[in-house]
Amino acid sequence: MADRWLKCNCLLASAAALWLAALSPIPNVARGISYGLALVASVQLVQKSKRVMIQDARRAALAAMNLELEQVEIGLNTQNQEQALYEIYGAAPTQTYPPEVHQELIDSLNHLVQEPSADHPVEASTSTSEKKAFYLAVKSLLEVKGETYVIEQVLKLGGRRWEEGKQRLQQILEEGLRNEW
């Protein structure tokens, strides 16, 4: 990741140096060459910056999807363990919990999922910052490339999954507004 930003910074420095060289007292031919090279470096900087921004947005999108998959996996694992307990103790799975017990179980599970682990205090803060970075990247891409590009290229939910992609994009935008990012 640092390599990509290093290339952008080198292109920026080159463009600035060539532009400043053109402003110095040099012959007109050298001045024209310096302006031309500064322009070429600036165009390459813009192209490289776009690629880096898109790659960062994809990386953030993948991180968010992986987090969501982990949460679904935890839920499925809990459901499987509950089913195994039903089979061991012979209770019927059709039996439902009383509302207060059901709510207490949901609250406990949410607390376990959202509570940062004692071994991994950095992961909880990274998740919020990654969500914020992802939201900002999606917002930027929406302004530059538009909704279709974000849904098809970043969220990878085009074609038959267009509505799902549109809903996911709306969720991302609502979360960003809710958190005032």
What are the residue ranges spanned by the domains of the chain? 126-181
pLDDT of res. 57: 94
pLDDT of res. 19: 96
pLDDT of res. 103: 72
Looking at residue 8, its amino acid is: C
Contact between 116 and 128 (Cβ < 8 Å): no
Confidence of residue 120 (pLDDT cuts 50, 70, 90): very low
Angle formed by the axes of helices 2-23 and 28-89, to 10°? 160
pTM: 0.40
Q: What is the tens place of the pLDDT at every residue in 140-179? A: 778 777 888 788 877 888 888 888 889 989 998 998 888 8
Q: What is the tens place of the pLDDT at every residue in 22-73? A: 999 999 999 999 999 999 999 999 999 999 999 999 999 999 999 999 988 9
Residue 122 has pLDDT above 50, yes or no: no
Alpha helices by DSSP H, 90-120: 99-114
